[in-house]
Amino acid sequence: MDILYDRNVTCLVCKQTYTTKKVRSRFIRPIQHDTDFCSHYASEEANPLLYYVHVCPHCGFAATEEFSTYFPPRTLETIEQHVRANWRGKNYGGVRTFRDAVDTYKLGIYCATLKTEKHIAIAGLYMRLAWLYRSKQKHEEEKRCMRFALEQYVASYEADDFVHTHMSEVRILYLIGELYRRLGNEKQAIIYFSRVIARKKETIEKGIVNMAYDRWQDIREEKKGAQ
């Protein structure tokens, strides 16, 4: 059985149908998890991050399953002018390389920005692109994407636009804290980890509370070691 399969997608902009590759769930077997939920895989071809963004070959609109079907006033016209009018018809529906995947994320972020998509959806794009760069040890690009992801997660938390998505309050608080920690802002990291720990009794996600406590302890140990 092939690792990849074709999934039919209907474009939100031009309404045409196309196929995009996805990794079969039985082949998605992480061998390692990082503290910011990044998963590592034994082979690149089985990495679902490569196929997270789907791109319409007809008009160039790139999206994910997290995108809403709603287009705020005038955004559809903006996408038509800036994406569809300049589209050269490249097809990302086949097997993707790392560079192909990076291009789809950049296009997805651009389309999400033009569409004024929810902060939580844009944050997810930046976060996954950071993970993709991490898989190739491209640390500068990874950090740059993490900074953008952090901005979007904070905006999402403040606007409550993560509500009714797969992202819970304790998870987004933890991710904000972890991104601050990875970017060297320990003071802000502790503030957000403390907010997670404070919700210990009211959340069912005890594992994330424990992770927040572990990261908080890591920061304390690092400070002691630096003295």
Amino acid at 186: E
pLDDT, tens only, 3-18? 999 999 999 999 999 9
| pLDDT computed for residue 221 by the predictor | 87
What global pTM score does this model have? Answer: 0.95
Please tell me the distance from the alpha carbon of residue 27 to that of residue 50, in angstroms, as a whole number: 14
Extended strands (E) in 54-201: 54-55, 62-63
Helix (H, G, I), strand (E, B) or coil at 127: helix
Residues, the chain? 227
**pLDDT tens digits, 66-83:** 999 999 999 999 999 999
CA 182 to chain centre: 16
Q: Smallest Cα–Cα separation from 208: which of 167, 177, 163, 171?
A: 171
Q: What is the pLDDT of residue 43?
A: 87
Q: Using one digit for the tens of pLDDT, what is the confidence trace for 45-58? A: 889 999 999 999 99
